Homo-oligomer: A and B are copies of this chain.
Amino acid sequence: MSDFNAIAQSRPDRNAEQFTEFYYKTFDSDRTGLMALYKDQSMLTFEAQPIQGATAIIEKLTSLPFSKIQHEVASLDAQPSNTEGGILVLVSGRLLVDEEQRPMSYTQAFQLLPDGQGSYFVFNDVFRLVYGAS
């Protein structure tokens, strides 16, 4: 409970915020750099397609059919996901691809787990475009 209160008081939790900032900055500049955030046991469900393992995940992310992308985070929430330092992160935001002028909305949930070296890796990653929001 104290973990949640601590996170709640610094909402959005600083670790989740730092991770998210790094994640999208890297995604938008050089997707191959995301490799360091995933491990063999990491899972990505990208628009309903399940992918497992850092290598396969980066293959998927780097093969997405756009050359430019820009994420803009609209909301970021974090909760402790277990008693071992895991963090559940829910992001909603907008993204622009290539020369498209109209942003698309998306939602993305992560579970971050401590990597044993003072940082985190992505254990769960679920991405969805959100259609038809008002």
Q: Give residues in A with beta carbon < 8 Å to B.
A: 1, 4-5, 7-8, 11, 41, 43, 45, 48, 50, 52, 74-75, 77, 79-82, 88, 90, 92, 94, 102-105, 107, 109, 111, 123-124, 126, 128, 130-134
A95 to B130, CA, bound (A): 13
Contact of A4 among B50, B75, B81, B105 (CB under 8 A): B50
- Contact check, B107 vs A92: say whether CB atoms are below 8 A apart: yes
Minimum CB–CB distance for A121 against chain B, Å: 14
Minimum CB–CB distance for A68 against chain B, Å: 18
- Contact check, B1 vs A79: say whether CB atoms are below 8 A apart: no
Minimum CB–CB distance for A116 against chain B, Å: 16
Complex contacts, A52 vs chain B, CB 8 Å: 1, 4-5
Complex contacts, A94 vs chain B, CB 8 Å: 132-133
Minimum CB–CB distance for A124 against chain B, Å: 5
Sample of 14 further A-B pairs with CB below 8 A, known A88-B126, A103-B132: A1-B52, A4-B52, A7-B50, A11-B48, A45-B77, A77-B126, A79-B126, A88-B111, A88-B124, A90-B109, A92-B130, A107-B130, A130-B130, A133-B133
A106 to B132, CA, bound (A): 10
In the A-B complex, the 7 residue pairs with the smallest Cβ-Cβ separation, listed nearest first, are A133-B133, A105-B133, A8-B50, A107-B107, A90-B126, A109-B109, A90-B109
